[in-house]
Structure 1
Amino acid sequence: MPAFLRWWLCLTGILFLSAHTYAQTLQPYILNGSATQRTCNCYVLTEEVDNASGTVWNKNKINLSQSFNYVFDINLGCKDESGADGIGFILQTQGTNLGSSGQGLGFKGISPSLGVLIDTWHNANENDPAFDHIAIQMNGISDHLDATGNLTPALQVIDGKDNIEDCNWHLLRINWNASTHLLEVSVDNEVRFSITKDLVNDIFHGDPMVYWGFAGSTGGSSNLQQFCAALRPDFAFSSGQILCDGTPVSFSDNSSSFGVITRRWWDLGDGTTSTAIQPPPHLYAGPGSYEVKMVIEDNSGCISDTLRSPVTIGSYPVVDFGPEEFCITGSPLKIGDSSRVDVGTKARWEWDFGNGAVSSAQNATIPYTAPGRYNVELEVTTREGCSTTGSKTIDMFQTPLTAAAGRNACIGEPVELEGSNLTPGVSIAHWYWALGNGDTARTRQVSYTYAAGGSYTARLHAVSTDGCPTAAVETDVEVVDLQLHAGSDTVVAKGQPLQLNARATGSNLQYTWMPSTGMDNPYIANPVAYLQKDQEYHVTVTSPEGCRDEDVIAVKAYTGPEFYVPNAFTPNNDGRNDLFRVTAAGIPKLDFLRVWDRWGKIIFQTADVSTAWDGTFNGQPAGPGTYVWMVQGVDYLGRRFSRQGTVTLIR
C-alpha cells in the first residue's frame, strides 16, 4: 500500500486489513469449476490447463428494465497459435452453477441467454473465422451460421488485430440502455457492436430479472484466462489546460470502475494530498517534473493499484531565432528557431513576417525578395502549452554578380586576370581567385606567371561590403609552351637526303630554319637537306599568339655509305669512350650489330643503330680483351652493306 494511502487510512481510522476483510465478506460472486479469486476484484476463469471450465456468477440478479454500464478488464492469456478457447459475458436465468468446457466457452446450451463471446480458437464445425473474434449470440447457440442464435457477425476483437492472446489487459464495456433497448459493446474504448433488441421480451420471455457473469473454457489447448471488475484510476486535465509555471493546474477524475467509486486518494507529487473527487486547482512552486499518484476504492471495498503519472510543469520559452542578416540569392532562404526552454519540450512555432506571410515550421522559409529591413515575430509554444512571442529586425541584402576575364600568355610571361562587378550599386569588399593550380590571389586584377604551360581554369568569387558572397565564375586561360624539339644530333652520308623533323606543341605554327644551306624549304617543320659537310641548323617556331621557341640540331656528314667503328673503348663510366657504338653514315636501316668473345659466344647484339654495347654480359662486366664484331645494314639506295672487325675492351 502506498505511504500516502496508509497516511489517509490512519487519519480516518480505517485500516486496510479491515477494508480487505469487508470486501471478502461481501463477496458478491459464486465461483464454479476452475474459477478462482486472484485479488479483491479479479478472477481467474481457467488456468493454463486443458479441458477446464470456470464460471463466475454474480449472486444478485439485475433488472433489465434498468440501464447499466459495466466495465471489465479481460486478459485472454499469452499463447496465440496454441491457446484456447475464450471467455464470454453472459446474461441468463438458469442459475449460478452453470458452465462447460471446450468450444462452447461455458455458454453453449444455456437458454434463454445472451452472450458476448470472445473466441480465441478456430472451430471449423462452428464456422468460426480464423482470427480471434467477438460476437453477440443468444440462447446458448455458438455456431456463427445458425440464424436463430446470431445477433451480430463475428468481428476481430480489436479492429485491425487478429490476435487478442497478447498477454495484455483490455477494457471490455457492456452498456445497456433500457429505454431505447440499445446494447453497445466496446473493447479498449472502441465500439465493436451496437444493436437494438428488446432483451426482456425477445430473449427472456418478459422476465427482466437475470443473472450475469463470466464463463471461460479450454479444450485440447489452453490459456490463462482472467477478468476483473474494472477498477482503473485515471485523471485528465480540463480542456485547454496549460501546464506552465505560475498557472494553477486543474485535475479531473477520469477513472473507470465496474461499481461505484466511493473514495479517492490523490498525491500531487509535491507533498500535496487530497481525497476530493477532483482536487482544487493546484499551483506548483516552480517548473519541473512531478509524479502524480492516484488510488480509488469502489463500493465492494476493493482498492485499485496505484496510478503513477508524471506531470511536467513547464517553463516559458526564451525566444530567439536567426540569422539576422540574409543575402538575396534567388534560392530559398531559411530562418531557424534557437529558442531555449529550461523545462518542457518545444512543440509549435508560429512565424509572422509582417507582410501576410506566416509559417508553422520550426525552420521557416524567408518570404522576402527585395533588399530592406523587416520585422519578424516568432511565437514558440511548448508541449505543456507555455507560449512566448519574440521579435527581431532582420536585414536583407542584395548579392552582387561578377564576371571574370583572362588573357592567354606565353610560358614565362604573366597571365592577366580581371574581375568585374556587374551590380555597380553593390560595393565589393573582397575578391578571391583560385588560379587552377593550387595558388590563390585576393585582388580584382591579377598578373600571375604560371610555372608550366597548359590550360588553366581560374575561379573567382567576391564578397560585398554587406558580407554577401557571389556565385563563383570561371575563365579559361592558356599558357603557351611550344616545347620545340629540332631532333637529335645525327649523321648523314655526303649527298644523302636527310629528312629533318622539328616538333612543337600547338597549331598553325610558323617554322624558320637557319641557315638554309642544302634545304629544300626552310619554312616548314620537316624540310629535306643535302649536305657535303658538317652543319648545325637553328630552327625557330612562332605561334599565332606571338610565342617563340628555338632549338639546334648538329649533323655530321661522312663519306658513305659506310660504317665507322672504333677499335677500342674503356667502359669505366668516366664519361669518355664508355660505349662501343657504330656510326652508320648513309645507312638508315640496320640489320644487326653483333659482338662475339674469343670462344665464339654472342655477348651483344642489336638492330637499333642508336643502341651501344656498355661492356657487360648478362649484367656483369665483360673481361678485358679483344672481341669480334660484325655489322650489316641497308643504305639509302636500298643496297645491303656490311663490315666486320675487332675491338679491344680496356679496363
Structure 2
Amino acid sequence: MVAVGNEIVMTGVVDSSDLNVFMAVIDSLGKPLMGKRYFENGGTGTTPVNSKIQRLADASFVIAGNLSEVSSPGSVPVQRGFVIKTDKNGDVQWSKKVIYQTDGFNLIKDVAVDRFDNIILYGEIYNADTTTIIPYMMKVKPGGEIVWQKKYDRATGSLNKNGTVFETLDASFAAFGTSLNDAETKYGLSFIKADINGASGCENNLGDTILVDLAVTQDTLIFDTRNFSLNATNVDFKSNLYELEVPGLMLQSKQFCKNEPIDWTLNATAPNAVAYKWSDGSTGSTLRVTEEGEYAVTVTIETDYCFVLIDTAKIERYPEPTIFPYSSLGSFCQTGQILLSANPVVAGGLSYNILWNTGETNRDFPTDKTGTYTVTVTDACNLSASGSISIPELPKKITAARIEGAPVSNCLKGTINGQLQAYGNSTGLGPDTYTWSTGQLTQFIDIANAEVFVYTVTVTDGCGETATAEKSIPLSGAAINPDITAERRGECKDRFVAANVVLSEFSNKIKYSWSTGATTPDVRLTEPGTYTVTITDACGNEINKSVEVGKDLFSTPDLVYGKIFFPDGTFSPGIVLDTAVLSSDNYKNAEQYNRSFGPVDLESYCLQDITDYEMYVFNRWGQEVFKSDNVAVEWDGTFKGQPAPTEAYLWVVRYKIYDEVKTLKGSVTLIRL
C-alpha cells in the first residue's frame, strides 16, 4: 500500500470464485476511485500469494509479488515472482514472471521505483545444484527492458517473503532481508548495498534472463467499503544488539616544501585483508612514493562479510604563497588615518611572516600618508611573495554640494518638468546619502508638472558630515501660440458677437488685455471693427493678436422666400407642407412643396421680432394680387376670391428688425396640378 497525495493505492489477493491479484485506489475518506483484478490467461494451477505496489511519476503502476504454480497435476507447487506494469487506469502494459531453474523457488521480496522511474526488483532464487538460496536485484526500464541483473552469492537468503529495497541518496540501492545461519535454525539480517549499476564488490552477473513473459488479463473490480473496529494489543519484543564491525581505511596525504626531497610511505594495512591493489599496480599493504601525484588503493576484506575499502592520498608540494594588500577607512572619520591591510594566502599548516616597506610586521596598520606601500609574506618553506598598493590621496570629507539639471518650463501651465541631480565633493568615503526639500531620498529626482521652483538638498558623506545646496528654476521658454476668433452667439434678441482667445488646453496662468479694456479670455463686442489683445503667458512672454469683425456678424440674415408653391398640393401623396419648418433639414422641401407663399420660418430669422412688415405680390400685368402687413399672413394663391392661374409672380417685401430696415424682392411660380 502506498499513499500518493490524497489517494491510497492498495494491492493484495482477492477471492472472487478464484484467487486473483487486485489493485484498488481509494481517497482519504475510504471512497473507492478505481479497482482492477488480474489473472493469468488460460492459466491453471497458479495462485497468487502476495503482492506489493508502487506508483511511477507518470501515475502508472507496477505490481510485484509471488504466485504458487503447479507445473503438472500431482507435482509439488513452487513459488514464482511476478511483475505487472499498468498504465494510470490500471490496464496491463506488460507482465512477466521470474524463472531461474524450472523446479526452483524464485521469489520477489520487494519492488521500488528510482528517481528516473526505473523499476528495482529485490528477491531470492534457489540454486538446486548447490542447494543455496541467493539474493538478487535487477533494474528494469518502465517499458520492461532489463538494465542489469545481479546475484549476491556471498549473502544468503531464507525464502522468506519479507524484505525491502530502496534507492539511497547517492542514486544507488540498498536491500534488507532475512537469512538463515549455518544451522538453518535462526533468522538473521541480510543487507546488500549496491551502486547505481548493482555492483557491491561481491556480486556476479545473472547470465540468463530470469524474467519471462506472463500473459495476464485485467477486468474491473467492483468493491465497496465498510466500517469496522480494531482492537490493538501491545506486544513486548526484546532483541540483542548486533554490531557490525567495519575496519576503517585512511591514507595519510602529505605536502613537501619546494626544494625538499619527497620520500613518503603510504600504509593501507587492514585486519582480515586478503588483497591490496594500488593505482600503480603494486599489491603490498604499503607503498613508498618519491614523486607528486594521487595514489589510490583498493583493499578486499573477507570475514563473515564481503566488502572492499577504497581510499586515495595526494602527495604534493606546498604551493607558493600570495599576498593581496588593500585599504579601508578604518577609523579615518575620527582620526584622519586609513587602515592598510594584507591578505596572505599560505598553504595550510605553514607558519609565515609579514613585512611592510615601512617596517610594519602586522597584517594591518593605520596611516595618514599617501604613497606606494609594498608588503612581503615569507612562509616556513622560505618562499616569498609581494604585493603593492598605491594610495595617491586620502579620503576627503564633504565641504560642498551642488544641484545639476535643467527642467523644462511649460509656459502655458506655469509648471516645470525634468530631473535634478545632487552631488557632494567627498571622495573615498563610500556612497553619499541625500535628503531633498521634497522629502525624496535619492540622488536623482524626477519633477513632473511641478509648481515648486526652489529646491534644496542635504548631502551626507560616509563620515556623517553634511553640505547643503539650493537651486532656483526660473519659468522661461518659448511663447505660447494661441488663436483668436470672432463669432455670433445666441439667437434673435439674445444674440451677441464675441471675440475669443483659443488655447490648446485650459490654463489659469494666462493674462489677457483687450483693446476694449477687458481682461478675460473672451470679450463681448458691440460694433464691427478691429480688436486686439495682448496675451501674457506663465513665462512672461507677451503675444499680440488681432481679429477683424465685419458688420455681417451683427446683422440679422435676410428672410428667405420659396421659389414655387402649390396651393392645391403636389404629386407626392400625404405631403402637406407649409413655409413653417422645424429646422433647416427640411428647408428644401419647404421651398418645393409650399401650400401658401410667405417667408421660411427658421429660428435664425427671428420672425417674431419683425415690425413694419409689408408684402406685395404682382402678376405679369403689374396687377397687385396680394398684400400683407403681417409676417404670419401668407398668400394662399387666390386673386379676388378666385384661384390665381399657374404662372410666375413678382413680390416685394419691406420690414424692420432691431432698428434695421430691409427691402427684398423676387419671383415665385404658382403651380396648379
The bucket for the TM-score relative to the shorter chain is 0.3 to 0.5
Structure number with greater CO (CA < 8 Å, separation at least 6) is 1
Give the TM-score of the pair, scaled to structure 2. 0.34
Length-normalised TM-score, structure 1 = 0.35
